[in-house]
Amino acid sequence: MLFREYSFLDRFDRAAEAGFEGVEFFFPYGHDPADISAAISRNNLTLVLFNLPVGDFDSGERGFVAVPERAEEFRSGVSDGVRYGKSLSPQKINTPSGPAPDSAASLDVLVENIDFATVELERIGVGMVIEPINQSDVPGALISTTPRAAELVERVGRPNLGIQYDVYHSAMAGEDPVQILGDHLDLIHHIQVGDVPGRHQPGTGALDFDRIVATVDKHDYDGWVSLEYHPEGATEDSFDYFRDRGLLT
């Protein structure tokens, strides 16, 4: 979502020039893994995360993990994730649940598919995370709140599985990020930030990011915090909050 002024492979160079040591992106699947690996290596970056396939993203699909009729398609996507994971060595691979009826059958399929993906990724030394997405952005999303994601992680019960916690989605779902982080940070394996409303950089909306950062520090979180927002203005001009506090040099 950052550096979209540049082509995909050029964004790695721009991220390194801006002072970042790690990167994540939505999907690698339209690119040669050797080209992505070269862009990461030449900039001495850590690849933190990318997503499993979620369907036709450009047409608005945002996942189908809990849809019984698409279980085979999901598992094929896991194979793609494993193939790229072997080449790129991300620390984690993520998926949202996508929309599905809120039923026991949907939850059973979701648990089965997430368990399958977690085991397959564990074989190659990659962590798995599930991301709650608010229902304003993805109507009908089955896993749309952090507590529900925590229930799923605990039900699957594999240590390689955690929550990808997006502050923007949490706030849009009506949650208090400070409370949520205090209650669930033991299950949160990755954090993303964006302000509300608008999903722009911190400081453009209503969220108190100083309290959010202090809460993360207080609980000794040792994972990555990534910037996932639509920059208001040029990407390079959207980092003032982080630079002013010494979080990005």
Q: What is the pTM of this model?
A: 0.97
- 175, 228, 232, 236: the active-site residue: 228
Q: In angstroms, rounded to a whole number, what is the distance separating the alpha carbons of residues 94 and 127? A: 9
The confidence score (pLDDT) of residue 155 equals 98
The confidence score (pLDDT) of residue 22 equals 98
The confidence score (pLDDT) of residue 20 equals 97
- 131, 151, 232, 236: the active-site residue: 131
The confidence score (pLDDT) of residue 233 equals 95
Domains of the chain: 8-242 (3.20.20.150)
User: The tokens 């997503």 sit on which residue?
Assistant: 51
For this structure, is 228 an active site residue?
Answer: yes
Residues 15-28 as b/e (b if ≥16 CB within 10 A, e otherwise) read bbebebeebbbebb
The confidence score (pLDDT) of residue 61 equals 96
The confidence score (pLDDT) of residue 207 equals 98
The confidence score (pLDDT) of residue 249 equals 80
In the structure encoding, which two tokens stand for residue 43, read together? Answer: 């900039």
Do β-strands 161-166 and 22-24 pair in parallel, antiparallel, or remain unpaired? unpaired
Q: In angstroms, rounded to a whole number, what is the distance separating the alpha carbons of residues 137 and 115? A: 26
Q: How far is CA 239 from the centre of its chain?
A: 19
With contact defined as beta carbons under 8 Å apart, do 85 and 124 qualify?
A: yes
- The residues of the chain scoring below 70 in pLDDT are none
